[in-house]
């Protein structure tokens, strides 16, 4: 089973989500965060599930539509660890920073 590590910068992404949720008075914040957490748990058992994008990085699609997110990650087989580098809404153009 792989270990999943979140890089420190990912919390900037979550701050951006929380700001959006607050501006739009969304009531299901806990459910959205739980859905993201559950997707990260999938990586424990299936670290290669995401589609390859570039430089050994992968993207994991989480949810769908307005509730959808995309997590950018890298799996390092030598240490059996997934590093989650960034996360964005599926409706966002790209990742807010180069991960």
pLDDT tens per residue, range 49-98: 999 999 999 999 998 766 788 999 999 999 999 999 999 887 766 666 66
Domain borders along the chain are 3-89
What's the pLDDT at 17? 81
Which H, E and C letters describe the chain, residue by residue?
CCEEEECCCHHHHHHHHHHHHHHCCCCCHHHHHHHHHHHHHHHHHCCCCCEECCCCEEEEEECCHHHCEEEEEEEEHHHCEEEEEEEEECCCCCCCCCC
**Residues 1-41: tens digit of each pLDDT:** 999 999 999 999 888 888 877 777 767 777 888 888 999 99
Q: What is the pTM of this model?
A: 0.84
CATH of domain 3-89: 3.30.2310.20
pLDDT at 86: 94
């Amino acid at each position: 089973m792989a270990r999943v590590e979140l890089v420190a910068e990912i919390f900037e992404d979550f701050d951006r989500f929380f700001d959006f949720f607050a501006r739009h008075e969304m009531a299901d914040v806990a459910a959205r965060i739980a859905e993201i957490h559950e997707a990260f748990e999938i990586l424990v058992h299936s670290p290669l599930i995401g589609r390859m994008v570039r430089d050994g990085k992968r993207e994991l699609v989480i949810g769908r539509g307005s509730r959808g997110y995309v997590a950018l990650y890298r799996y390092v087989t030598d240490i059996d660890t997934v590093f989650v580098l960034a996360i964005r809404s599926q409706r966002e153009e790209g990742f807010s920073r180069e991960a």
